[in-house]
Amino acid sequence: MRAEDVRALLPESVRPAFDGIVDQSILGASKHISLIGEMIEAVARVGAGAGRSAADIVADVKSVAQFFIETRGEASQAVSNAILIMIRGIDACRDLAPDEAATRIVEAKDAYATQAAEAISTCVGYAVELARPMKRIFVYDYSSTVEKFLRGIAADGPREVIIPESRIIDGGKPFVRACQESGHAVTFIPEAAMMCFLKGCDAAFMGAETFYPDGTGFNTTGSDIVGVLCAHLDVPLYFLTPLIKLDVRPVYGGGKRLVYDDLAPKLSAGWGDDISSEGVNFTVPELIGVPAEQIRAFVTERGVIPATQMYAPAMEYSAYLHEGMGSCDEKGAA
């Protein structure tokens, strides 16, 4: 479905969240999953309140879910994984009374939300312990999990935090507020200065939009530069991520299809009338992979796992993820 058709299915209260995900003014896979959950709940509750049939409510929820699997899920497998868990068993609600169907849909969504919150909390706890002796750290792009980590380490006293601008999506800026509110000393730099400021850092941290069982981590374009610099300077690079962001498709011969963004409005915004952007290609990939050999470890709810040893834990988690799901032909299943 087209974005405008899906938007029309949504109650007015959640349309700003839909717009924020589509236009990338709201960042972070975890935040997107939470907002999609709110959309699912709103569609179910408002639909039941309006007297719509359970079958229609289910159809609308699945349309919203499928839209995000096919769009946001292409960039982040976590979104697809989470949506499929949130709507697991939804077809059984078709023949219920509308109120009961809405209640069950919301209960399934909330069960996932509780599980996800516990996973992130555990992940952040391990990261905070890992960073306890560190005084100068580097964080790249934006991740709600990394933001929680930055707030968490403040309990042991303020740190010096280096934040690059992450120009492609302005991803560094949201970290500034969290650091200021936590009392950290903030240095905000252009991406071109990353090598200079990484020197002397105890570690670098970033979130993962997706990761592969072979230990490859995907994040916003520019993350690959951070990986190369960390390897060159011998600065440990840690990806903070719950395991829900696992993408096992490469194990079976598949893989991620890179999504490309046209940055013309952003990159040419300051151009004067004396130069034209017409005919200039501003297209770049949205995400990029960082190989396992450049990543020290993934910090997950199941511990700090060396990137080069990720395969076995990843496949074990994949089996867990699919317990009780039965056959699943929806696009984007892990």
| The predicted structure's pLDDT at residue 329 | 36
Q: In this structure, are strands 185-189 and 160-164 parallel, antiparallel, or unpaired?
A: parallel
Q: Tokens for 58?
A: 């289910």
| The predicted structure's pLDDT at residue 172 | 85
**From residue 112, how far is each of 53, 102, 115 by CA, in Å?**
25, 16, 5
| The predicted structure's pLDDT at residue 101 | 95
| The predicted structure's pLDDT at residue 323 | 60
In b/e form, how buried is each residue of 54-66, taking b as 16+ CB within 10 angstroms? Answer: beebbbbbbebbb
In b/e form, how buried is each residue of 135-147, taking b as 16+ CB within 10 angstroms? Answer: ebbbbbbbbbbbb
pLDDT digit string (tens) for 189-241?
999 999 999 999 999 999 998 899 999 999 989 999 999 999 999 999 999 99
pLDDT digit string (tens) for 8-18?
999 999 999 99
State the Cα–Cα distance between residues 200 and 173, nearest whole angstrom. 22
Is the pLDDT at 129 greater than 60? The verdict is: yes
State the Cα–Cα distance between residues 316 and 312, nearest whole angstrom. 6
- CB count in 10 Å sphere of residue 49: 12
| The predicted structure's pLDDT at residue 59 | 95
State the Cα–Cα distance between residues 289 and 230, nearest whole angstrom. 14
| The predicted structure's pLDDT at residue 65 | 94
pLDDT digit string (tens) for 291-333?
999 999 999 999 999 999 999 999 998 887 766 443 323 333 4
State the Cα–Cα distance between residues 183 and 179, nearest whole angstrom. 6
State the Cα–Cα distance between residues 257 and 252, nearest whole angstrom. 15
Residues 6+ apart with CB under 8 A from 320: none
State the Cα–Cα distance between residues 25 and 17, nearest whole angstrom. 9
| The predicted structure's pLDDT at residue 333 | 40
| The predicted structure's pLDDT at residue 324 | 44
Residues 6+ apart with CB under 8 A from 144: 28, 30, 31, 207
Q: In which band, very low, low, confident or very high, does the pLDDT at 259 lie, cut at 50, 70 and 90?
A: confident
Average pLDDT, the chain: 90
**From residue 200, how far is each of 4, 135, 137 by CA, in Å?**
48, 10, 9
Residue pair 65/39 in contact (Cβ under 8 Å)? The answer is no
| The predicted structure's pLDDT at residue 237 | 98
Of 282, 305, 303, 274, the residue nearest 292 (C-alpha): 305
| The predicted structure's pLDDT at residue 273 | 85
Please, what sign has the CA dihedral across residues 8, 11, 16, 22? negative
pLDDT digit string (tens) for 173-193?
889 999 999 999 999 999 999
Residue pair 225/194 in contact (Cβ under 8 Å)? The answer is yes
Is the pLDDT at 76 greater than 80? The verdict is: no
Is the pLDDT at 113 greater than 90? The verdict is: no
Least confident of 69-83, 89-103, 315-329: 315-329
Return the percentage of the chain with pLDDT > 90, whole number.
69
| The predicted structure's pLDDT at residue 313 | 96
- CB count in 10 Å sphere of residue 211: 28
Of 133, 204, 146, the residue nearest 179 (C-alpha): 146
Q: What are phi and psi of 234, to 5 degrees?
A: 60, 45
3 state SS of 185: strand
Residue pair 181/211 in contact (Cβ under 8 Å)? The answer is no
Residue type, 104: R
3 state SS of 220: strand
Q: Tokens for 214?
A: 């072979």
Return the percentage of the chain with pLDDT > 70, whole number.
96
